[in-house]
Every structure is written in C-alpha cells, then in structure tokens.
Chains A and B, each alone.
Chain A
Amino acid sequence: MSLLEILRFAGRGVAANKLRSALTMLGILIGVAAVILLVAVGNGSAQAVNRSIEALGTNTITVSSTARGGTTPSALTVDIARSLHDPALAPDVRAVSPVVSTTPTMTHAGTEHPVAQFLGTHPSYFGSSNSPLAAGAAFTDQDVAQGRRVVVLGRTVATELFADTDPVGQQVTVGGALFTVVGVLAEKSSASGFSDPNDLAVAPLTAVQQTITGYGPVNSILVEATGPDRVNAAQQQVTQILNQRLKLPAGTAATGRGGGGGGAGAAPYRIQNAAQLLATRTETAQTFTVLLGTVAGISLLVGGIGITNIMLVTVTERTREIGIRKALGAPRRTILTQFLAEATMLSVLGGGLGVAAALIGSRFTIVGVQPVIVPSSVALALGVSVAIGLFFGSVPASRAAGLRPIDALRYE
C-alpha cells in the first residue's frame, strides 16, 4: 500500500470526525499562539524600556534630595549644584542642571490642564536629558538670569491646551503668573506605559522659583558626564563634593541601587545614574517576560494535555477499528503510519494556524506594548505541540496495532 494511499486514509480519518479534529487543532492553536504571543509581548516591553532609557541619555546622573523637612541644612541648593560644575574637582562633569519640580495646573484661554511635571531648571537640562525641541527654541541662560517667564511645553501639554494651533508665542497661566510659550519638545516614547513622559513643561529655574516654589532648595540635580564611560568617575567626583559640602563622613555612599540613601539616613541625597536605572528597569522587564513566558508555558501544557487526552480517546475509541483493519489484512506498519499521519496532520495544521494567529496578533499593540516575536519561541512552541501530538498519538496507536485482531476487536 503506497504512502499516498495511507495519507488519503489518514485524511479520511481526520475528516471522519470533523468537530473533534477541529477542537484538537484549536487546542494546539491556542497553546502555540499563546506562547509565541506572550513571549513576544514580554520581549516587546523589554525592548521598549531599553529604547526609552537609552533615549533618556545614558551619561546622566541624577542627584535627588531625600531630606523631607523642607529647608534642612542638608538639602540640595542651587549653590551646591553650581559647586558640582568644577573643572578641577569634577573633571568628568560636563553640565549641571538644578531642577525644581511642581505639579501646577496650567490654563490657556479657559482650557485647564494639570501638568504632571512642571520643571524649573537651566537650559543645559535639554541637552542632558536628551529632550530636543520640535518647534520653537529653548530658553537661554540669560532668560534664567533675568527670571524671564517663558516655558517649553511637552507634547501632551501642548495638545491638551492648544489642540491643533501652534502654541509658540502664546501665553499660558501657571500659578497666577503668565508664561510665554517659546518651544515645544519632541515627542518621547513611553518607558513603561505607567507615566506619560510628554506630560511636562520646562521653564527657567528662577522664574519657577519666583512664581511658584520660592527660593528654597531644589528637588534634584541633573549631572551630565562627559561620556558614557565617564559616568562612574563623574558619579564618584560628585559624591565627594556633595559629602564635603554637606559635611558628611568621607565614606558615605549614596548610590541609588537597591534602596538608595543607605541605612539610617546616612546621606540626605540619593545619587543614581542612567545605567543603574536601565539595569533596574531591565530587570523588571525580564521578570515580566519570565512571568508571561511561564503563564504561556502553562497554557501550552494545558493545551498539550488536551491534545493528549483527545489522542488517547481517539485511539482508544478506534481500537476496534484498528482490529477490523488488522482482520482485513492491514499490516501493523500501515496502521501505525496511518495514525501517525493523522496525528501529524492535526498537530502540524493546528500548530501552523497557531503560528499564523500569533503573527497576526503581534501586529496589534497589546496592553500598550508592541509585541516583538522571538523566533526561538516559535520553534519551541511548534516543536513541543507537534511532539506532544505525535507522541500521544503514536503510543496508543502502536499499542493497538500490536494487539491481536480479536483483542483489538473486543476492546471496550
């Protein structure tokens, strides 16, 4: 009996019980698609995190205040920020931007918008934080010196307040003071989907202090190193200067990794660089991927058990049929080939459809993440499901084919 003939028999076997064949394939389809898609989502979110942190600039260091009581002597001030820009003591620091931040409501022509981050800083902030302008121009050092009330808007704020009109040259009200819009920032990609990086406005430090925050300490200091490989050196120099200025013991370390400011309030500030930020965020993303992968793996396992079950039922139910075929003169090998071909058809077809479904699904954004297919997950999911189908299809079939015809015929 030719292979083609056996394949035709197998095809007839698959078609004989269409509903069950379809359900078997559906089980494989869902398992395969789930694994591929969920791993792709995890992978996509990890890539998005990396991209957005790289966009942040990898050679910046953020010094943030951990002191709570307002104007405590240890709080960061503009003076301290200025002292960090010291070519002798800190040769690896390129720029320093003190930052005050508030969350006021901004209004324009009756439209209100609560700004998530209203920053007061120096123009060097734009370069250090990798925030290029899409329209208009940034404010200058002169604007800062004169406390001019100008503001650069983030994309979200601009669209909320001005919709389609050009905001540059228009005026907005913040905390009772009028600010003139001089520029709009280019859109930034979202790091995690949790907060909108475009919901901000940046104004000269002095103007913000004068109108909103008062001339107290600053919230943080953004330090830019001379290069990505100088970040650690710059961080050390900055730490040293800060410890001196704040009269802390020389050994005080206040790196941001794992809990920041050390034990028992040793340092009133926390210092964190983008690489560390990247590391923690990447770790989070990896945990996320592993979690998704595990869930998907479980779904594949459940799908696999489904296939196994259906294959077992199919073959058990068809043990009589195997007995009949043997009684009519079918050799063991022919029967095995037929059942193997049936199992292969089901699992390959189901798996193929699963891959197709995953490929289609990955074109859509899922919970704010653009999935990125991992090729090895396709191979793994397909391989596992086909192997399960083949194994659990062939084992009962080979057992049945090995029976004496009469025993197979009597099988209940």
Chain B
Amino acid sequence: MTLYLVDGAHRTTEGPNRPVLDVRDLTKVYGQGEATVHALRGVSLTVAAGDYVAIMGSSGSGKSTLMNILGCLDVPSAGTYRLDGVDVSRLDDARLALVRNRRIGFVFQSFNLIPRTSAVANVELPLAYAGVKPAERRRRALAALDMVGLAGRADHEPNQLSGGQQQRVAVARALVTEPALILADEPTGNLDSRSTEEVLAILDQLHTAGRTIVMITHETEVAARARRLVTLFDGRITTDVRQDGAR
C-alpha cells in the first residue's frame, strides 16, 4: 500500500508552486429575503500542488460551504473556481462526475457512507465508477481499509461500526482512488487521540507522497500538522499563515 503512496505518480511535474486550487471572490448566499444567509462573503485563495492546508474557524463561519464548492459538490453564488486551471463552472455533469471521481477524494464531516452496505463495498464504490475491475477493486479497497486499521471490519455495515470507525472508512474511501487532491471536512472530529494520530499519519504520508491536502479542523494540534493555516471568520478569510508543520 505504501508503495504507491510514495511512488510519486500524482506529483505534478510542473513544480510545487503551480496552483491546483484557484478561488477568486467566492460568495455563497443561502435562502432568500428574511432568511438570507451569507455563508461566504468573498473568499480568494490559491493552493499550490502538494500543499497541506488546514482551515479553521468558528462554527458557522463557512468552512464546510467552501469545502463543498472546492469538492465540486456545490456551486458558488458568485466568483470563479479554477481546478488545475480549468474553470469548473464550465464543466458539464459528466465532466464534473469525472473530476469528482478521478481528481478529488472527499471526506465528509458526516461520513456519508451508504447504509446497509459493507465497509469494503463502500470503499470500492469510487473505484467501481472509475471502471476498475472487481478483483482489482476488492484488493485495493481492502488495502485502503488496512491502512486505516479496519481490515478486520471489512464486512461490517456502517450501522455496525462506531463513529470513529465510520470516519476511517470514509477516509479509506477518499484515498482509495489515489486522488491528487484530498479534501477532508473534520476528518478527526469524532476520533479519540489515538485514532486521530492514525488518520493524521495517513494524511502526512499522503502529503509526503505529493498529494494536495485541504483539511478542516477545530483542533489546533491537528491544524499544527499542516503547512499552512487559513482562518475563516463570518465568511471571510481573516488569517492565512505558513507554518512549518512541526511533527
């Protein structure tokens, strides 16, 4: 498993500073009239390939909203979003599906595993949509589960797993396709300190392997692992600092 993580297959060839994510004046408005909520009020952000970014901010500051737009799951009310230099708003449904499947691994704040479906089948799912053969799929899904320490729970359904285990299955599902960009919305939010350390180790590993990682967190210790810390407040970026990602 670690082999393909360090083989650099996804390292961009044009150097580490080429922006993977390029967001300009992004705004997101929910609702109408009285109930209008300005979740994002003009966010501009670029993330270079291979970077490891942590996003922090109080609850309701718009972190998940931004992440969903970055993951091509939602569209902004205004502003542009370029992924690998391509304006995402110009992509049709089929292309977007392809982008979500091949380029992005998304870890949801609320796991979003498919109910009544075993852990390994959940992890296999993105590979199935990528057209990977069943045997190969199963092998890679089991390897990914092994990496998050859940090899023994491969046949358990989500309702038979603890919150932390479900979260780790979700992480395994996000990285099974070996995507260049990993977007994780509070991947350690439900984990104890040991599991948190395991998941962070995986993210570190992926970072070393050249993947671009954007992670939302509420915990400063977790954010400290990243190379860059972006703070959101009320739909705006308030601070954006480089840090050395001390281990």
Contacts and interface: CB of A to CB of B under 8 A. Distances in A.
A321 B129 contact: no
B74 A331 contact: no
Interface in B86-126: 93-94, 97-102, 106, 108, 112-117, 121, 125-126
A329 B97 contact: yes
Interface string A4-17: 01000100100011
B37 interface: no
B100 A409 contact: no
B50 interface: no
B130 A329 contact: yes
B209 interface: no
Contact of B128 (A5, A16, A327, A333): A5
Interface residues of B, number: 29
Nearest to A327: B73
A331 B126 CA distance: 11
B68 interface: yes
A404 interface: yes
A404 B93 CA distance: 9
A334 interface: yes
Contacts of A321: 114-115
Given A1-B131, A329-B97, A329-B101, 4 more contacts: A321-B115, A404-B74, A407-B74, A409-B73
B224 to A, nearest CB: 29
B125 A409 contact: no
A328 B100 contact: yes
A1 B124 CA distance: 13
Contacts of B126: 328-329
B115 A325 contact: no
Shortest beta-carbon contacts, A-B, top 6: A329-B101, A331-B97, A406-B74, A405-B73, A329-B100, A16-B116
A324 B129 contact: no
Nearest to A331: B97
B34 to A, nearest CB: 20
B236 interface: no
Contacts of A324: 112-114
Contacts of A1: 128-129, 131
A124 B87 CA distance: 100
A257 interface: no
B75 A334 contact: no
Contacts of A328: 100-101, 125-126, 129, 173
A406 B93 contact: no
A16 B117 contact: yes
Most buried by B among A2, A327, A404, A406: A327
Contacts of B131: 1-2
B71 interface: yes
Contact of A326 (B75, B97, B115, B116): B97
A334 B173 CA distance: 19
24 contacts: A1-B128, A1-B129, A2-B131, A5-B128, A324-B113, A324-B114, A326-B100, A327-B100, A327-B112, A328-B101, A328-B125, A328-B129, A329-B97, A329-B100, A329-B102, A331-B97, A333-B94, A334-B129, A404-B75, A405-B74, A406-B68, A407-B74, A409-B73, A409-B112
A16 B114 CA distance: 11
Given A1-B131, A331-B97, A17 B116 contact: yes
Contacts of B73: 327, 404-406, 409
Contacts of A405: 73-74, 100
A116 B185 CA distance: 89
Contacts of A404: 73-75
B112 A330 contact: no
Contacts of B130: 329
B125 A325 contact: yes
Contacts of A326: 97, 100
Most buried by A among B74, B99, B108, B129: B129
A113 interface: no
A12 B117 contact: yes
A333 B92 CA distance: 13
Interface in B31-64: none
Interface string A290-325: 000000000000000000000000000000110111
A281 interface: no
